[in-house]
Structure formats: C-alpha cells, structure tokens
Amino acid sequence: MNGGGGHVGALRSFLKKVVQFVIVLATTLLGLVAVTFFIGRVVPIDPVIAIVGDRAPAHVYERTRQELGLDRPLIEQFVIYVKKAATGDFGNSVLTTNPVMTDIINVFPATLELATLGTIIGVIVGIPLGVLAAVKRGSLLDQFVRVLGLVGYSVPIFWLGLMGLLLFYAKLGWVAGPGRIDVTYSYLYTPVTGIVLLDTAMQGQWDAFWDAVSHVLLPACLLGYFSLAYISRMTRSFMLNELAQEYVIAARVKGLSEMRVIWRHALRNAAVPLITVIALSYANLLEGSVLTETVFAWPGLGQYITNSLQNADMNAVLGGTLVIGTVFVLLNLVSDLLYRLLDPRTR
Amino acid sequence: MAGSPALSHPTGWRAWLLSPEPHSRWQARLGRFYLGWRAFSRNPLAVIGLGIVLLLILVALFADVIAPYSPVAGGDLRTQRLLPPSETFWLGTDDQARDIFSRIVYGSRITLFVVVLVALIATPIGLLVGTVAGYLGGWVDTVLMRITDIFLAFPRLVLALAFVAALGPGIENAIIAIAITSWPPYARIARAETLMVRNSDFIAAVKLQGASTPRIILGHVVPLCVSSLIVRVTLDMAGIILTAAGLGFLGLGAQPPMPEWGAMVATGRNYLIDQWWVAAMPGIAIFVVSLGFNLLGDGLRDVLDPKAAK
Amino acid sequence: MLDIQNLQVVFGTGRLRVDAVKNVSFHVEPGEAYGLVGESGSGKSTVLRAICGLAPISGGRVLVDGKEVTTPRTKAFYRTVQMVFQDPYASLHPRHTVDRTLSEPLAIHGEKDAEARILQALREVGLGPSFRFRYPHQLSGGQRQRIAIARALILRPKVLLLDEPTSALDASVQAEILNLLDDLRRKMGLTYILVSHDLAVVAHLCERLLVMRHGEAVEETTSAALRSGAASNDYTQSLIQASQGFTRTTKPPLQSLAG
Amino acid sequence: MTKPLLDVEDLRVRFHLRTGTVEAVRGVTFQLGRERLGIVGESGSGKSQTGRAILGLTPPPGEVTAKRLAFDGIDLLTASKRTLRTLRGGRISMVMQDPKYSLNPVMTIGEQIIEAYQAHAKASRGEARDKALAMLEAVKMRDPARVFSLYPHEVSGGMGQRAMIAMMLVTDPDLLIADEPTSALDVTVSMEVLRILDELVTERGMGLIFISHDLKLVSSFCDRVLVMYAGRVVEELEAKNLREAKHPYTQGLMRCLPTLADDVRPLPTLNRDPAWAL
Amino acid sequence: ATPPDTLVQAWQSDDIISLDPAEVFEMNASEIIGNTYERLITYDIKDVSKISGQVAESWTVSPDGKTYTFKIKPNRKFASGNPITAEDVVYSLQRAVALDKSPAFILGQFGLTKDNMKDKIKQTGPLELTFEVDKPYAPTLVLYCLGNSVASIVDKKLLTQNEKDGDWGYNWLKTKYAGSGPYIMRDWKANEVLVLERNPNYEQKTPLARVIYRHIKETASQRLLLEKGDVDVARSLNPEEIAAVSKNPDITVQSAPKGTVYYLGLNQKNPNLAKPEVRQALKYLVDYQAIADTIMKSKGEVHQNFLPKGFLGAESNNPYKLDVAKAKELLAKAGLKDGFSVTMDTRSTAEITGVAQAMQATFAQAGIKLEILPMDSKQALTKYRARQHDIYIGNWGSDYQDPNSNADTFAANDDNSDNAKAKPLAWRNAWDPGPLTAKTRAAVMERDAEKRAQMYKELQKAVLDDGPFVIFLQQTEVAAVRKNVQNFVLGPSFSDNDVSQAKKN
Ligand SMILES: Nc1ncnc2c1ncn2[C@@H]1O[C@H](COP(=O)(O)OP(=O)(O)OP(=O)(O)O)[C@@H](O)[C@H]1O
Ligand SMILES: Nc1ncnc2c1ncn2[C@@H]1O[C@H](COP(=O)(O)OP(=O)(O)OP(=O)(O)O)[C@@H](O)[C@H]1O
Ligand SMILES: [Mg+2]
Ligand SMILES: [Mg+2]
C-alpha cells in the first residue's frame, strides 16, 4: 500500500540501500583489516625467521626485515597495507611465495566444494528432520532428532573424522581415503574451477569424477552432519513457533491436507528465519573446518590460514581472513535479500 | 478466573512452597523455583543432563579422593606405557604411562574452569553490548553492531589462535580467546530480544517513572534477555569445550602435563588406531559432558522460556 | 492543569512520514476528566504519549500546571503525570513480581517506607496483600490493570493519562475498573485524560471529550451532549450510531436499545 | 426449524495438562438451523473451544467427547480424516478472530483464497482466480484485483477481515462459525463486516454461529443466543429477549455495561456465584 | 592402489617455502633438490668419507690449499636439453653467493662475497673452473660444502631467460625447475602435492616414471593410506604407528640415522642453570634409554655428543644415565637441595612434547619443577634467538657433512654479547665456551684427517662435560614402505634420501 512515490521513490530507496550496504561492507572490512593487522603484529612470532630460517646470518635477516617493511612504524605499515589491499593485492605469501590472492583462489574451491556439499546435506536432511520433530513434538522421533543433534554438537570433529576413515575407508572400503582425488586420476583433468567434481564432470572424465565423489563423500557427510545438527534444531524451534500460529489453524479450517499445511504454510514461514541460520552455518563451513581439512588432507582455506598463522605468514592470514570476512558479509547480504524475497513484510 | 479447574491441594512444605499468597520475597522465590524444578524434573532428558553436570562438579570437587593415581606423574615408561584398560588402570594408560582415568578425573576441574570462566566472561559482554545497542539504537547501535559483525565475521579459530599467539599459550589465555570469540552471537541475540521489548509498554512505564537509562537496561531489559541467553550459553558449552579441545589439538590450549581433555584427545590422536583408548576415553568424557550441558540447556529452555512453556 | 496548544506529532521522514497528530488543542481543568475518542489510528494514544514524552512533540506546546514541559522530562514531571496503558498484558514486566513493579518507582525517586506504601497502593486498587508476590502471568487482565493503576498512583501524581484502560477487558471487569477509577478520582482529586473508542465508556467517566479523526480534532463536546445524541459533526454522529449495536438496513433499527 | 444443520449434544473439551485436567467445555448442547446463533460469555468461558471442537480443530493436548456431534447427519466424531477435510472449509467454515494472525503472511490474499477454493472444487487456476475475484467483490472490497495480489500486511484490519471472510466463503459453505470476527476492528468497520455476514445468511441461507463477548452486538445481530459461563451454557434465549434474561450471570453482564442512555454510578458489577460454575 | 610406474609418498611438507637450491634449507625441500639437481661433488651415502665427482669428472687442490680446480664431465645435459658446461657451474655457485639466501653462508664461509666472487669462482675452460677459498681449510670441508644442495648446478640458459631485474631468476625458480638430476620437478602445489617426473636427459634412466609426494598432515591418515595401498611410502609415522605397520606383512620399515641431534639448551642467563653442577645434574636427570625405547622408539638412538655418528671424529660414548641420587648430590652442591623451578620452551609437536613430559617427570624426582611452555616452532625460535628462554628443547641438524657444521655452533662463540652478529647455539644459550672457540677455528684448518678427528673428540668431551647442552638423541629417519617398492633409500642427510633407483614390482 505504498502510496505516491512510484518508481522514483523506489529507485531512490534502492540506491540508498546499495550505498548503505557498500558503507557497511567497507567499514566491516576495514575493521577486519585493522583487527587482523594489529593482532598480526603483536603475535610474538618473527615473520623474518619464517622466511630466512633459523640459521641465516644477521645481514640476511636484516635485509629481509627491511624488504618486508617491518622496520617502519606500525601505522605506516598499516596504511601501506590497506592501500594495497584496496587493489586486491595482499602481498605474497611467505610460505608458498605466491600472491596471497592466487593462493586463496587455489585453496578456496576445495573449501567451497566441501562446505557446499555439507550444507546441502545439512539442509536436505536437517530441515525434514526438524519439521518432523516439531510436528511430532515429544514423540520418539522428536527425541531421536534431539539426541542426534546433540551428538552432532558434542563430538569432537577430528575424532569422528578419523573414526569415519577407519571404518568406512580402512575397514569397509566404501569410500576413498584422505585427499581430493586419487593420483591415478589427478592428471586426467585440468583444473578450471578448482572444484574437482565440476572440473571432472565438465571434462567428461567420469572415472575421475566418481573417484572424486568417493573422496568427498565422507568429509562432506561429516560436515553435513554438523550442519544438520544445527539446522534441524533451529528448524524444529522455528516450526514449533509457526505451528502455534493462527494462520495454521486457518489453513486447516480451509480443509487443506496436513501435508500442505505443514510444508506449504508453516515451513514456508519458518523458511524466513531459517535462511539466516543456513547462511550462518554455511559461512561457518566456508571458514574452513581446519580440523576436518587436516584429517582428510583437504587442501582448503582452513588449513591454509591455520598453517600460515603458525608460520607467521601474516600476509596470508590477513588475506585469508579478509576473504572470509567478505564472504561472511556477502552471505549476510544474500540471506538478507532472500529474507526480503521470502518475507513480503520486509519488502 | 472462571472455569479454572479444582486442583488437588498439596500439604506440608509443598503447600508452603506453592502457597498462592507467599508472605515474604523468599518464600515467593523458593516457590517459583520449586515450580520450575517440577516442570524441569518431568523432562527425563533434562534431568539426565543435570545429573551429568552435577556429576562433573562432584568429580571436580573430589578429584583427589576419586583418582587412584597422580594425573601428571607417569609410571614406568617401559612397562606401563599405553596399556589397555585393565583392573589396575580402569581406562588404560597414555604415552607417558599415566593413568587415563585419573587424568580424566582431574581434567574435569579444567573443563569446569573453562566452561564457567568462558560463560562468565562472554555472557556479560554479549549481554551488555546487545542490550545497550538494542536499547539506545541510533549511532550507538550502528557502532556496536559493526564491531560485533567484525568479530562475527572473523574466523573464530583464527581469532582464538591469534589471541593465544599474542598472549602466549596456556589455558587461561585460551579461555580469554574463546570468550572473546563467543560473545558476538550473544550480543546479537540480546539485541534482537531488546528490540522486541524496547518499545513495549512496560518499558515505557518505567521510563514514565523517571528511571535512568542504565537502570532500565540493567533492571528491566537485561533480565528479559538473560533466560534465552542462558539457554544459548548452556548449549554452547559443548562448543566451548570443543574449541578448547581444538586449541589443545593445535597445541595452544592447556600446557602439558595438564590433564586437559582436549589436549588428551590431541595426544591420543597419535595412537588412535591401535591404542584407541588414549583418545577415546577423554573423547567420551567430552562427549558426555557436552551432552550433559546440551540436555540441561534444552531442559532449561523449556522452563525459562515462557514461549516454550506455554 | 493541562494545556495542549496546537500539538503536532510527526513520525519518520520522507516517504515514511506519518503525521500522527495535526494541530490538536484542548485544555483540562484540575480535577476534570477529559476524553479522547476516535477510530483506530486517529492519534489518540499519540497525544497521550506526546504529553508524557514517549512521542516527539514536533510542534505546539504542552503545558502542565502552567509550565511548558521540557524534553527530556524532569523527575518532577513524572511525579505529576503518570500513565496507564491499554494492554494490561504488555504493560507489566513479565519477570517482575507485583512487589518489584510497585517498588521500582519508589526506588527511583528515593522514597522511603516502600513496604507500607506498596501495601497501601494494593489496597487502594482493591487488591489484597496476597497479590504482592505474584507474577503478571498469575494475574487476570483486570488484576493486571489494577496493578498498572497502582503503579501509576504510587507516586501520588495529579494527572493520570489513561489509554483505553478497559478495552482489553471483559465487560464485567471493565465495570470494576471504571468504578475504581471513578472512586480514585474523587478520593484523590485526580485529573484524567481518558482515551477510548467506546463512547459509552468515555461518557461514563468524563465530563468533556474531544473527537479525533485522522490526527485532527473533529469536535469538542460534552458527555451530556452525547447522551442526548446531539452532535454537530457527522462523524461523531456515526460513532454514536455504531455504538448502539448492529442495525439491519432492511429491517427497522432496533430502537429498544437506543432507548 | 426443519432438520437441524448442526446437532450438538453434551460436547466436552478437556485439556490434560501437567497441572491437572482443564475442562474448557462442559456439556454444551444446542442445535442449529439456517439461522444466526450467537454465543456470548466472558473471556475463557469456552466459546472458541466450542467452535473449534465442531471443526475438529481442538489443539493437541485437548480431548473432545460428545453424545452427539453431527453436521447434516454426518457424525463428526467418527468421520474419517478425509471426510472431515472435505467438510472443513467445504461445508463448514470458520472466520477467525484476528486477520493479522490468521492470514498466512507470506502468501498473497488471492493465493490463499484460490487455495481454499481448489482444495474443494476441481477447478483450473483461471477459474479459481475468477471465483476468488468474485468473492472479493462479494465482500464489498473496493478494488478486488488489487487486493487479490496484496499480502496480508499490506491491507488494513477491516480489509483483512473481509478477505478472511471471502476465503472462508469461497466454497459456499452451509455453516459458518465466526469467532469474534469484529473484535479487532473499529466500530464503523465492524458494522460493514457484520452487514456482509448478515447478507450471506439471509441470501444464501447459511447457518451462522457468531461468537462474541459483546452482548449488545449479539443481541442486535443474532436470532438466538447461548450464554456460556465456565464451559457451560447457562442460558439460551432469543436475542431480542436478552434484556429479559433470567440467569443472574446474563443479567449481570447486561447491566455492567455503561451506556449512553443512562448514567449509573457506580456501575453494577458481577458477583460471581460459585454455583453457576457447577 | 597406486599406478605401477609411480611412487606415491605421504609426508608432512608444510615447511617447503621454496624450491630454489640457493634458498632451500629445510629437510623436505632439500630431499627434492637432492633428487632433482646435481652437484659437483657427491659422497657415498653408505660411507660419507668416500667423496666422488657428480658433475665433476675430477678435481685438484693447489698446494697452498686455497684453489680447487674442477673438470666437468663432458656431454652432460640439463633436463631442458642444454649442455652442462663449466659456465653453468660458475653461474650456479656465483648465483648462490650473490642471492645470499639462508644457506649461502655454506659457501660464504670460505670468504666468498658478492664483490669478490667473480675473481674467486672462475671459468678456465669450456669444461673447467677454479674455486678459490680464503684460507687453507681442510679439503674435505670444502668438498662437503660443494656437495651441499646450495651448490647445486642450475641451468644458466634457462634461468637467464627467466631473469627479471637481475634477480638471477630467483622469483621464477622458487616454484620451478632448472636442473639436471634424475627427476624433473614437474608440479608443486604447496601443502598439497609435489610431483617429480623422470628426466629423459639423465644419464641413467630412472626405473619409475613419476614420484609423487602428497602432503598428509595427519599421521593416522598416512598410515591408513599406506595400509590400504593408496600410498607406497609413509614418511611421518609416529613410533606406535611404525610398530603397528611393521607387523603388516605388506610393509617394511626402513630407517637411517640422520645428522641431527636432539638436545636441551640451558640458558646461562638463568642463574641456576649457569651453575656447572646444575648443568651436570640435569644431564643425570634424563632417562635416555627409556626415551629412546618408548617415546622416540625407532625415531632416535641415545647419543650424547654433539657430532652425529658417521661424522669425522664423532664420539659414540654415552656416559650419562638417569641417576637421581647423583643429580641430587650435585644439586645440593650447587646449593639447590630442594630443587628449583624452571621453564622449557617446547614446540608443540607430538614427539617433542612427549619427550619434554618424560623429562618433566624425571626432573621432578630431583625436585626440579619443570614447566612446559608449548608454542609453535616459529614462536619458540623467535624466543630462543632472543635468549629469553630458560630451557629450550630442540634439535640441530648439521648443514653439511663436515664436523665443523656442528662444532661451529655447539662449541664456538666469538661474541657472547647481546647484539652479536652470529647466533650459534652457544650464543643462544649465552654460553662462552672460552678456549673452545679457538680450538674449533683451528680444527677447520687442520688438513690431516687423523689429527682433525682428534681435535673434534676433545671438543666433544669438553662440551659433554661442561657445556650447557643436554644432548640426548640422534635422530633416525624412518619410512614405512610397501613391500613391492625397492631401492628406496634413506641417506645420512635429508638431501641424500634417494628415490632415483626406486622401482616397484
Ligand atoms: N512510533 C511510531 N512511528 C510511526 N508511526 C506511528 C508511531 N506511533 C504511532 N504511529 C502512527 O500514528 C498514527 C496514530 O496512532 P495512535 O496509536 O495514536 O492511534 P490511536 O488513535 O491510539 O489508535 P488505536 O485506537 O488503534 O489505539 C497511526 O497512523 C500510527 O500508525
Ligand atoms: N491449549 C489449551 N490448553 C489448555 N487449556 C486451554 C487451551 N486452549 C484453551 N484452554 C482453556 O480453555 C478455556 C476456554 O478457552 P476459549 O478459548 O474457548 O475461551 P473463549 O471463551 O474463547 O475466551 P476469549 O473470549 O478470551 O476468546 C480457557 O479456560 C482456556 O484456558
Ligand atoms: Mg491507541
Ligand atoms: Mg476466544
């Protein structure tokens, strides 16, 4: 019932939103940079040693220090960093010697692949479980879902990961072991997207594809389980909320089937806050589960950042963190947009 | 009012507790508590959770009595190392020939310490940031929420790692690091809750009595956010233990030979396949305790959350 | 006692601008009860909220006891003017006992003797001491509204702003609250401004009233005039009509109820 | 009155709660023809639960029993879920109290009406759409095509309530239960809504159960009135005779309303007699 | 399963930061350099005293002991097809000196600098060059250093093509390859995989077409992969895993002692540790044998002198044993009857932490409260190099096969002041070895091998008795190899781990 205004008003408010978003993104990122940067500088690890090694003579050490600009005042270093970062240049990684951006482009697809599959599993399984638990509140099924979720919350991921490997890979041989693809196949395709499943499929290397599937299955299920635990819980609670609403009764009054009432009416409404939950859980998975990646020898972002941090490779840490921050903010935006799309009240 | 059914009337101390007309603030409070307990105790899972948490506390308190061996001093490396569970060593021994059972028993203290401290640090921060932002709105809200977003968008483990790196490894610093990374979601929850109540009539009513902003926030807004936050925090306990374990796994948590469960699992990782008990026993302990906190949190939610209670 | 001059309240800006109250003026004598009626969204509540500082005064003046109010309001103002809200379910803090709710204003204003004053306040609104340690959810709507009135009265204000104090209540409970308000006014010499959409309620409690529509004052009239069905304004007339129950256009209107 | 449309005998609704059993409705008996039946009573007296029990929509911990609960000869208690579903919305409808909460916030009003129609009539989308538009027009919606594509939050309370009525009447039911359909509305708007309901009863010969706590309204709108107290019907009488009610409760309810007509001070209040609830 | 012509290894390679031989200093990368590049000189990995030419056909040393003349083998080619000439060798050595990366001191210690290298390293014919050192060092020292990975021969032509701004092709070579060894470094994805491929131009064709190193951080994962046959060799198994896989009939466990010793560094800035009795007492408070038999089983042998076995003059006597009574006596003499508290900077790797805890337990028996400070290795090093530790537990691997490598760091300290330029281990522990420094310097010049060995024995004795180092183990490298793999060789240093003759049946 928006009166007057018309297109001009809508356009202006849209532009305002865009400007607002850009400001939010910029300040958040700047804040991220600042926090990471200064944390990076207080870490009592000498990045120079990380490069020149333990036994380098003093002059090599000193020269490298200057090359890295570490002899300048902190503020100056920060300004230089921000200036460069604004152009997408996060410097070079000490560990891999590549530009950090290149590295991240290399490792991110691995994490993306895993996180996406994990989230898909979490959504496909978690939502129906949550819905059923809510519909049959207090039933055996509800308790089962609750315990399943709680177990997901409680078990150390590396433990579950290794146990999974031991059982499904070593003992049963149902899935392939750690890594993304067998060496036999690893040179049969050329990485284009960096997502092995996509690359192999696009290039018609079906043997390689299935091998990659069997590699990704276990870690994806593991992450999927954790995301399922969270999603099913939240779904249940949102659904309980919706099922208590009057419009659900109204839908029943209309003579709709219970299926339709639950899945079309209640879930459709529960989906609105669920979007945020799913986005959040996806973002968390995208952050890269260091532990999962370690256990499954998955060369992803989590391992990259952790490894860089441990080796005082601050450029890489900063870059990685910024990428994650950006992903986070973008996901927030997307979930916001979806929210708007799903909930007419916020349009 | 009309139509309320006649309930059988209790007698004795229960009558006193349930008295519809308590005579003092204390009696009223106890009565509330009792009712809450009754609702809580009808949920068997929640009671199990409470039992586990109580057990954890008891074990932590009486660790010296319960543990048959020293948690730090190992036995003979040649003969007592990596022994499977037996009558002498109920849960086996680890790579330093230490009794795993004793270590788990003593480790409960650290676990409890971690959990309680994180809760005590993170909850108030989140609560305060969230309620202040939500209540005051405007630029305060913008600034506080931007900061929250930054911390939220920060990879959690990286932030923890960075803090631990900056402060030096050790359990206290790990706790601070975990606390610093756990408050943003609490702030979000508290803010959302505050936004819901800030325009409500009862807040307007205290405003109309001339209450100052701090008074409104602390006395009127905070209590409303606390219950959902308590629930969330207890649910997060598992996450906290596991993050501590994760830090331990990365060598940044507790210092050896501290019997921190996460660190124990981390060491046990090296023996996972053949000497499974080294990792499995503390792993099970973590699982049971976080399950306990989870169940307790679930139960508390039903008691504390008026929406769920209805 | 209260003087409202050309009051204007505007919410939001630009496309979202809402002129909730436009140029409303009225005057209330000490000890008088003054009514505000009008359809939903006509700005009745907003007038009250503007008076006590819960809504912004965008134009015009509000004078209490001859003095213009300040923003933010002083503590002294709150001792003079208090408000009772429409929804008894929303106006009490769900986690505070009656005791806490009533002791809060005393604590804020540093009043001593809380114990006795609380018991007295409960008595005044017709509730026994047994209600003292109850939580709002343990009270009926009518009881809640009594607590809200007690809270408003515990500081001994001179002016009470009543925002539809009975519209959420059953007819029988409404009668009790109206009686109570009537009593209190007489006993304490209070000044009321009563907002309601129920003409009968306003007529019952107030001497004079203002009819509002779309944020504007339509006409000021008296209860007596209402009772006699004398309204100069069409809108007021239609309100009077509607308040008399359903009228079947096909059948002759039910004269019996109109009296 | 010929064969009654709805026959209710000794209807009981119980809620088994942790704290004991709440009997929300205790032995309600009435029959309904093609007429306007009002149910009044104070809050919590069991009006809504009676209405919901008829539709088989008593919420989960509730239990419904009755000696007889029949609609047009169909026993509603033993009817299969399927039968119930076809009845619900098809032949019996219910207009709920608050349009703000009873319309699905994420579906357009048109969609919701179409959905109701298609649940009972085999109709193409186009037909359903035409029917929905016609229905919106029938409830005196000013610009049906526009309202059709609006979301519930985009319409005012009065429009929402009319949309709700359109949705519930699109299947041309024989019985409509209206649970406080006007209490959320302005006096002026509520008169319009009532007028629509009235027309439907008189023109389509529909049975109407009109639930309200507003005695004045019920007495002026309905043919017959049931007065409920604590889950029981304490009195049943012709609406126009409400002034002459015999039960002290009804009398009390009538008297405690302030009126423009006379100025009683203090207003009489109800002195609840515990015996009423027995 | 792995392809028959490919050897797949699982290892932990997160420390590889460059594959430029002039920069490589870490163990994993030097193994790659060892298998993909050649040097002038090589030695027999079964007996390191047998030095032979690799790219060099022959060499002579001038009578004054300062000029070495090398003749290059004719008709050798780089993987790129370019011929190997003396020009390439000169270029390679000059490049290492000029780039001046971490391992450059191995050549630099002979008085070579960016400014004088053109005069000191000279091409004297198409296949002949001279290499001039500043003092008459023991020739074995010079030759061992020329056999080090820093002195690997790189393809001048290829590098010149890829040079940018006079960087000697450094930025290119970090991740690329320009050598002549048995394998070509085909592909390196940091922290993921490193692929070697047969070099068709190598004089002796390798049996395998490909060697793949997979980075698998988790040792348990390595083991699972090995047992399933998805890798052929697992390189980072821990002792228990080795014990377990050695029972597997499909797997053999290979091991080789490495030139790395494990030690505790006792900071002499700590007044307690500065007492000679305390230093001694600590040496009696380590249960050497138990550690070697359990926690470090198959990863190390008891060894208490600073020269690893196999080095010229290396001592193999291990006089210290766990003796709490003796230690208490010594402590009492030092006036610390009730013990004292001390911290130990510990890198958080499983084995170091394990050893540290074992020591913590034995120290406690004499009343010494040892607090372990776990930290990551870069952090520990930073602290160590700032002399801020109490005790540092670590290991030291010799940079080249000559005893000077270790003597120089354990037994010499030219300047013990806080801002000294050189930071040998003695300096890091704030220890002034007194006359030992001069003795170390003299030993380098001794050209008589017999006498030289004797000098090192004396140095070792002195450090063993009084030095601030509790040396307890010499590292053994272990690899679990599937039975069908043959000729997989673990050499005495990491660059000697050789897969060039490996094959699978
Ligand atoms: N905080 C606010 N922000 C924006 N608009 C507001 C706000 N408060 C009230 N309004 C608008 O001001 C107008 C008057 O509202 P008000 O609550 O005073 O009406 P009312 O007469 O009290 O109606 P009711 O009988 O429904 O209580 C409405 O259109 C409402 O939407
Ligand atoms: N889900 C439920 N669980 C327990 N008791 C319930 C439930 N729903 C309703 N009741 C009880 O049933 C009784 C009748 O409720 P009902 O909703 O029919 O009242 P009503 O007459 O419609 O009142 P109102 O005018 O407030 O709508 C009340 O006492 C109420 O507390
Ligand atoms: Mg209002
Ligand atoms: Mg009702």
State residue E93's pLDDT score: 95
Does residue D129's CB lie within 6 angstroms of at least one atom of ligand 2?
Answer: no
The alpha carbon of residue B3 is apart from the nearest alpha carbon of chain D, in Å, by 4
* Mean pLDDT, range D27-45, rounded to an integer: 88
Q: pLDDT at position C41, please?
A: 80
Residues B240/B178, Cβ–Cβ less than 8 Å:
yes
Q: Return the amino acid letter for C189.
A: G
- Is any Cβ of chain B less than 8 angstroms from the Cβ of C232? no
Ligand nearest to the CA of C40: 1
**pTM of the entire predicted model:** 0.82
Q: Which residues of A touch B152 (CB under 8 A)?
A: 328
B68 preceded by a cis bond (ω within 30 of 0): no
Helix (H, G, I), strand (E, B) or coil at E387: coil
Of residues B150, B165, B166, nearest to A31 (C-beta)? B150
Minimum CA distance residue for ligand 2 atom 1? D59
Measured in angstroms, how far is the CA atom of residue D111 from the centroid of ligand 3? 32
| Closest to E304 (Cα-Cα) out of E469, E57, E93 | E469
Interface test with D, best of A238, A247, A347 (most D CBs within 10 A): A247
Query: Do E297 and E481 contact (CB within 8 A), yes or no?
Result: no
φ, ψ of residue C66 to 5 degrees: the values are 85, -10
What is d(CA D151, CA D170) in angstroms, rounded to the nearest whole number? 18
**If pLDDT is split at 50, 70 and 90, which confidence band does E374 have?**
confident
Q: Which atom of ligand 2 is nearest to the CA of B3?
A: 29
| Model pLDDT, residue A44 | 65
Strand order in the sheet with C59-64: C18-28, C2-11, C59-64, C67-68
Task: State the pLDDT confidence band at E191, using cuts at 50, 70 and 90.
Answer: confident
Instruction: Round the average pLDDT of chain D to a whole number and report it.
Output: 86
Residue A151 or residue E284, greater confidence: E284
Tens of pLDDT along E294-338? 889 888 999 999 999 989 999 989 999 999 999 999 999 999 999
Contact D163, D103 (CB under 8 A): yes
* From B170, B257, B270, residue closest to E350, measured CB to CB: B270
Separation in Å, CA of A157 to nearest CA in chain B: 9
CA C237/CA C241 separation, integer angstroms: 6
**Is the preceding omega at residue E207 within 30 degrees of 0, hence cis?**
no
Cβ atoms of E478 and E254 within 8 Å: the answer is yes
Chains D and A, touching by 3 or more CB pairs within 8 angstroms? yes
Between CA B192 and CA B182 the distance in angstroms is 17
**For residues E230 and E8, is the Cβ–Cβ distance under 8 A?**
yes
Chain A residues closer than 8 Å to B298 by CB: 146, 150
Is C229 a residue whose pLDDT tops 80? no
Chain A residues with CB-CB distance to D88 below 8 A: 252-255
User: ipTM above 0.85?
Assistant: no
pLDDT of residue A1: 40
CB-CB under 8 Å, B246 with A290 = yes
Q: Are C137 and C58 in contact (CB under 8 A)?
A: no
Is the Cβ atom of D19 under 6 angstroms away from ligand 2?
no
A110 in contact with D, Cβ within 8 Å? no
Structural domains of chain D, with CATH: 1-79+207-277 (3.40.50.300)
Mean pLDDT throughout C137-150?
A: 87
Tell me if C78 CB under 6 Å of ligand 1: no
What backbone phi and psi angles, to 5 degrees, belong to C30? Answer: -60, 135
User: What is the pLDDT at residue C255?
Assistant: 37
Q: What is E179-228 written as a DSSP string? A: --SSEEEEEEETTTEEEEEE-TTSSS--S-SEEEEEE---HHHHHHHHHH
- Measured in angstroms, the CA of B226 and the nearest CA of chain C are apart by 11
Q: Is the CB of D48 under 6 A from ligand 2?
A: yes
pLDDT tens digits, one per residue of C63-113: 998 889 888 888 889 999 999 998 888 889 888 889 999 999 999 998 888
SS3 E432: coil
Say which of B3, B7, B42 has its CB closest to residue D230.
B3
Distance from CA of D105 to the nearest CA of A (A): 8
Residue C185 near residue C197 (C-beta atoms within 8 A): no
Phi, psi of D176 (to 5 degrees): -125, 125
Is A35 in CB contact (< 8 Å) with chain B?
Answer: yes
> Strands D74-75 and D20-32, how do they pair?
unpaired
Question: Which residues in chain E are closer than 8 Å to B72, comparing Cβ atoms?
Answer: 361
Residue located nearest, by CA, to atom 3 of ligand 1: C11
Task: Characterise C159 by phi-psi region: left (phi > 0), alpha (psi -120 to 50), beta (else).
Answer: beta
Q: Which chain B residue lies closest to D25 (C-alpha atoms)?
A: B3
Tokens describing residue D13? 């609704």
- Which site among D218, D254, D267, D272 would you substitute to test the C interface, given the most C Cβ atoms closer than 10 Å to its Cβ? D267
User: Residue A175 has what DSSP assignment?
Assistant: S
> For residues A9 and D18, which has the higher predicted lDDT (pLDDT)?
D18
Which residues on chain B are in Cβ contact (under 8 Å) with A40?
Answer: 162
* Nearest alpha carbon to residue B243 among A39, E371, A110, A284: A284
Binary contact (A246, D97; C-beta < 8 A): yes
CATH topology of domain C2-242: Rossmann fold (3.40.50)
C-alpha D242: how far from chain center: 20
Ligand nearest to the CA of C39: 1
Residues 121-180 of C with CB under 8 A from D: 141, 170-176, 178-179
CB contact under 8 A, D22 and B39: no
b/e map D22-34, b = 16+ CB within 10 Å: bbbbbebbbbbeb
Alpha carbon of C23 to ligand 3 centroid (Å): 18
Q: Rg of chain A's alpha carbons, rounded to an integer?
A: 24
Report d(CA A57, CA A67) in Å as an integer: 16
Domains recognised in chain B with CATH numbers: 37-71+92-304 (1.10.3720.10)
Each residue of A176-195: pLDDT tens digit?
888 888 877 877 788 888 88
State the greatest distance between any 2 C-alpha atoms of chain E, in Å, as a whole number: 72
Ligand 2 probe mutation, D16, D19, D22, D64, most atoms within 8 A of CB: D22
* Prior bond of C72 cis (ω within 30°): yes
Q: Is the pLDDT of residue E162 over 90?
A: yes
- Which residue ranges in chain B fall short of pLDDT 70? 1-11, 20-21, 155-158, 161, 164-165, 168-169, 238, 245-246, 248-252, 305-310
Cβ neighbours, 10 Å, residue A81: 22
Q: Among D15, D18, D179, say which to mutate for ligand 2: greatest number of ligand atoms within 8 Å of CB.
A: D15
Per-chain mean pLDDT for chain E: 91
Stretch 211-250 of chain A: residues touching chain D, C-beta under 8 Å: 245-247, 249-250
| Domain residue ranges in chain C | 2-242
Q: D276 to chain C: which residues are within 8 Å by CB?
A: none
Nearest ligand to the CA atom of C85: 3
Q: What is the pLDDT of residue B309?
A: 42
Low-confidence ranges of chain A (pLDDT < 50): 1-6
Residue E179's pLDDT is: 94
- In one letter, which amino acid is D85? R
Which residue's alpha carbon is at the smallest distance from atom 11 of ligand 1? C20
Task: Give pLDDT, residue E245.
Answer: 92
**What is the pLDDT, as a whole number, of residue A116?**
93
How far does the centroid of ligand 3 lie from the alpha carbon of residue C26, in Å?
Answer: 18
Task: Give the residue among A196, A184, A338, A200 at the shortest CA–CA distance from A275.
Answer: A338
Q: Would you say the CB of residue C42 lies under 6 angstroms from ligand 1?
A: yes
